[in-house]
Each structure stands twice: as C-alpha cells, then as structure tokens.
Amino acid sequence: MDKKRLIQIFEDKNVGSVLIDEPMKNHTSFKIGGPVDIMILPRTEDEVKLAMKLCKENKLQFMIMGNGSNLLIKDGGIRGVIIKLNENFNKVEVKDDRIYAQSGALLNAISRIALENSLSGFEFATGIPGALGGAMTMNAGAYGGEMKDVVESVRVLDENGDIKEYSNEEMNFRYRGSRVSDEGLTVLTIVFKLKHGKHEDIKAIIDDLTHKRTSKQPLEYPSGGSTFKRPVGYYAGKLIDDSGLRGLRYGGAEVSKKHCGFVINIEEATCKDVLTLIDIVKKTVKDNFGVELEREIKLLGEEL
C-alpha cells in the first residue's frame, strides 16, 4: 500500500499521536532499527481498540510494543504499523496494598511508587528497563522474583478486539512466557497485589539490587539486555566466556567485556552486525559445549 493511502487511514481519527516514517532506533534500548511506516501512540483503551480495528479493516500488519527494551529491529525498518503503549498510556493508581496500572507504565516507575507507599514485593523488578505490557508478555523476572509473584489480574484485548480479564493463574506465567505471548493478546491494565512493609527495608533491597545490576551489567552501552535465554543447566554468559568470546567485536557490536551474556551496541552497530555476532556466538558455543543458545531478544522488520 502506498504511503499516502496508509497515512489517510489514520489521519483525523481518534487513535492518539501518529508518527510517520519514525526511526525505530529512537524507540529501542539497542538504539538500532530502520523506520516504521506508521507509529501510533494511543492514550486510552478506546484509542487502542480503534487503532487495532483500523489496522484489521485495512489488512495492515501491526504490532504492539512497550518500551522497546527486548526488541532488535532490522535495518530496513518495519512495513506496517507499530502501536506503542508506553509514555502516553502509563497511568498508575495505588489503593491500599494494590497498584492499578496501564500497561505503558515502566517497571521502574511501579517500583518507585511501591517504595513511596511502603509496599513490598516489587523490588526485584527495579532496573528492568521495560514497560508492564512487555513484562506480562515474558513474565519478566530478576534476582529470584518474577511478575507471576506480584500480579493479581490482567485486562487484555483479545484478537477479536474483545476485553477479557485474567487472574494470575489464568495467565499461564512461566519462564519468559505467558498467555499474552501464546495468544497474541494486547495488555491494557494490570493489578498488582503487594504487601505492606517498612520503607527502609524496601529501600535497602532496592539499593542492593541496583548496585548488583550496575556493577555487573554493561548499562553504559545500548543493548537489549540478556541476548540469550538461560539454557537448562547452564548460564549463557559463562558458556560464552568459556568459549573465549569475551569482547569479541563485529562491526559496531560487541560481546560485552563486563557481562558476556550481553551483546552491546558499542559504536553505531547495525542490526546486521548484531545478528552476525549472535550467529558466531551460537556456533562457537554449540561447537565447544554442544549447547544450543536461543535468542531471548525479539527480532522484527526487514533487511535493507
């Protein structure tokens, strides 16, 4: 479909902000990715619904994203539409020991709000640079905690555009997966149930985990976080280190010297640089240890 017609579909409709030919590198933590034809940033559930309806009616490919911290976008960008649920869709409310949040709210914001209200349970998620929708999709977790431990219920739009509400048990949370990824749901709002605690105890845990993260992870460089899933019985970073790949560079991409489980964008890396480096790492680890590393970061878009 030509660009003019594509723009007309969303022009003057109540779908929120509409960006055209928007560089995806401005919306991903990897700082990589060519332009998406149309990016929509809805502010309300009705706007999310309408944006999806227009995409479907016009047979347009669309995808939901949050804060782009688990995405690697190809250099040719994305044909179609990205519906970004993040900065325009991030209202949060606290009532007693529950937090009610729109899916675009950042995990760090929820962690801060929980601390301000002396609510405990969410500390583990401090420093995960994603929004709640992405966290529900992959049951984000760290330092022994995961979303499964703190979610009470999740409101979603299903493939037909109907609103459904699922309890924690119905979400099928597991390591890096959930009902959201199984069924292609769109997460709208989440209810977290936390515990009343002492402000200083919660702060101490947050400070400790923040120190662990900043001292061990290459947060000074753009990346998509852990590049690979944890293989059963192993640690990806150790397998990569033991294969002698620490600091290996291809183009602008590097196996982090600080944490081998991270491929980082050290100097204007292209998606191709990152993918080539990932292939070298996978092959070397397979040859050395017989372990098949699986990419955790989601790959989207088309080549240049």
One residue of 35, 43, 67, 243 binding ligand FAD per CB under 6 A: 67
The site that binds ligand FAD (CB under 6 A) totals a number of residues, namely 33
| Ranges within 96-135 binding ligand FAD (CB under 6 A) | 103, 128-131, 133-135
DSSP state of 234: S
Range in contact with ligand FAD (rule: CB under 6 A) among 92-100, 180-188, 199-207, 277-285: 180-188
Task: Compute and round to an integer the Cα radius of gyration of the chain.
Answer: 20
CA dihedral of 213, 216, 219, 222, whole degrees rounded to 10: -130
By CB under 6 A, residue 70 contacts ligand FAD: yes
176 is catalytic: yes
- The continuous run of DSSP H or E covering 210 comes out as helix 199-216
Residue 219 in the binding site for ligand FAD (CB under 6 A)? yes
- Residue 187 interacts with ligand FAD (CB under 6 A): yes or no: yes
- Beta strands 119-120 and 141-142 are unpaired
Point out the catalytic residue in the list 22, 103, 146, 176: 176
Backbone angles phi, psi at 59, to 5 degrees: 50, 45
Q: Is 230 in the site for ligand FAD (CB under 6 A)?
A: no
Tell the smallest beta-carbon distance from residue 106 to ligand FAD (Å): 8
Shortest separation between residue 35's beta carbon and ligand FAD, angstroms: 17
Please report, as residue ranges, which positions from 26 to 55 form the binding site for ligand FAD (by CB under 6 A): 29
Q: Is 296 a catalytic residue?
A: yes
Distance CA 115, CA 177 (A): 27
Q: According to the binding rule CB under 6 A, does residue 225 interact with ligand FAD?
A: yes
Angstrom distances, CA of residue 236 to CA of 70, 154, 157, 209: 17, 31, 35, 21
Residue 263 found at the interface with ligand FAD (CB under 6 A):
no
Which of 40, 64, 150, 264 binds ligand FAD (CB under 6 A)? It is 64
DSSP annotation string for 172-185: T-BTTB-HHHHHT-
**What distance in Å separates the CA atoms of residue 59 and residue 81, rounded to the nearest whole number?**
11
Rounded Cα distance between 295 and 279, Å, is 10
Stretch that binds ligand FAD, among 2-10, 137-145, 230-238, 276-284 (CB under 6 A): 137-145
Examine residue 253 and tell whether it contacts ligand FAD (CB under 6 A): no
For every residue of 9-56, DSSP letters joined together read HHTTSSSSEEEEEEEGGGSSTT----EEEEEEE-SSHHHHHHHHHHHH
220 catalytic, yes or no? no
Residues 6+ apart with CB under 8 A from 179: 166, 170, 171, 172, 185
User: Least distance to ligand FAD from the beta carbon of 223, Å?
Assistant: 5
CB of 114 to ligand FAD, least distance (A): 17
Catalytic residues: 176, 226, 296
Contact footprint for ligand FAD (CB under 6 A): 29, 63-71, 85, 103, 128-131, 133-135, 137-138, 140-142, 180, 186-187, 217, 219, 223-225, 298
